[in-house]
Amino acid sequence: MMKDLKQDSNGVKSEAGNTPRVIVFACKWCGLIGADAAGRKHAQLPAGFRVIPVECASRIEADAVIRAFSSGIDGVIVLGCHLGGCRFNAANHRTAKKLKLLYPLLETVGIDSKRFLLSFGTAHEHHQFEDLINRFYQGLQRLAPMDAWSGSYLSEMGQR
Residue ranges that bind other proteins, judged by CB under 8 A: 62-63, 66-67, 69-70, 82-85, 90, 93-94, 96-98, 100-112, 118-122, 128, 131-132, 135, 149-150, 152-153, 156-157
Do 60 and 153 meet the contact criterion of CB atoms below 8 Å apart?
A: no
CB of 28 vs other proteins, minimal distance in Å: 18
CB of 7 vs other proteins, minimal distance in Å: 26
Q: How far is CA 113 from the centre of its chain?
A: 12
Residue type, 133: I
CB of 100 vs other proteins, minimal distance in Å: 7
CB contact set of 122 (below 8 Å; sequence gap of 6+)? 30, 31, 34, 79, 128, 129, 132
Q: How far is CA 102 from the centre of its chain?
A: 14
Pick between residue 7 and residue 112 the one whose CB is nearest to other proteins.
Answer: 112
Do 136 and 119 meet the contact criterion of CB atoms below 8 Å apart?
A: no
Pick between residue 4 and residue 125 the one whose CB is nearest to other proteins.
Answer: 125
CB of 132 vs other proteins, minimal distance in Å: 7
Pick between residue 10 and residue 113 the one whose CB is nearest to other proteins.
Answer: 113
